[in-house]
């Protein structure tokens, strides 16, 4: 299972990688209730509709987080928002293989808790490594991620090098 945070889910939806990701990830995709609320509020954006459709079709499972105390502790200890804390808590409870998270504090929490993680940029690079996307399209999607995400220039430059090298 891979547990997704709202930021990563929204970013991959914005660059139209959501459906291919779900189809090719090879494990179930899950989100906690708070992430569903953050992604499927009432903005009416295309990315919101794509995520809602995947949830409605059960391609993304919504799993309630039971341990509220753990969520509160994660929020306090790492300065996380509710969605990030619920995603990490769900990943721990469900023994998820990986957490999709783009939040710096959330990534640090995953590292300290020994959880595997990826980002939207990491998902894009992996798609290219697996030859699921052509180089030009991958570079266009990277440009879009740089526009929509809050990535350091060094992260985008490193991803561009990896995409171009085919690594």
State the CATH number of the domain containing residue 108: 3.40.50.1010
Q: Which domain holds residue 142?
A: 121-165
Count the domains in the chain.
2
Give 43's pLDDT tier (boundaries 50, 70, 90): confident
pTM recorded for the entire structure:
0.93
Q: Are residues 115 and 138 in the same domain?
A: no
Phi/psi of residue 7, nearest 5 degrees: -60, -45
In the predicted model, is pLDDT for residue 121 greater than 70? Answer: yes
In the predicted model, is pLDDT for residue 167 greater than 80? Answer: no
């Amino acid at each position: 299972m891979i547990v997704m945070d709202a930021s990563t889910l929204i970013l991959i939806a914005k660059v139209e990688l959501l459906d291919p990701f779900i189809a090719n990830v090879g494990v179930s995709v899950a989100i906690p209730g708070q992430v569903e609320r953050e992604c499927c509020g009432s903005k009416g954006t295309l990315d919101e509709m794509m995520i809602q459709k995947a949830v409605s079709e059960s391609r993304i499972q919504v799993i309630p987080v039971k341990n509220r105390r753990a969520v509160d502790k994660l929020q306090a200890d790492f300065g996380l928002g509710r969605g990030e804390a619920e995603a990490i808590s769900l990943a721990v409870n469900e023994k998820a293989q990986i957490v999709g998270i783009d939040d710096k504090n959330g990534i640090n929490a995953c590292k300290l808790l020994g959880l595997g993680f990826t980002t939207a940029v990491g998902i894009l690079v992996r798609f290219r490594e697996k030859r699921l996307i052509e180089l030009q399209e991958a570079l266009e999607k990277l440009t879009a991620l740089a526009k929509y995400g809050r990535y350091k220039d060094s992260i985008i430059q490193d991803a561009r090098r990896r995409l171009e090298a085919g690594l």
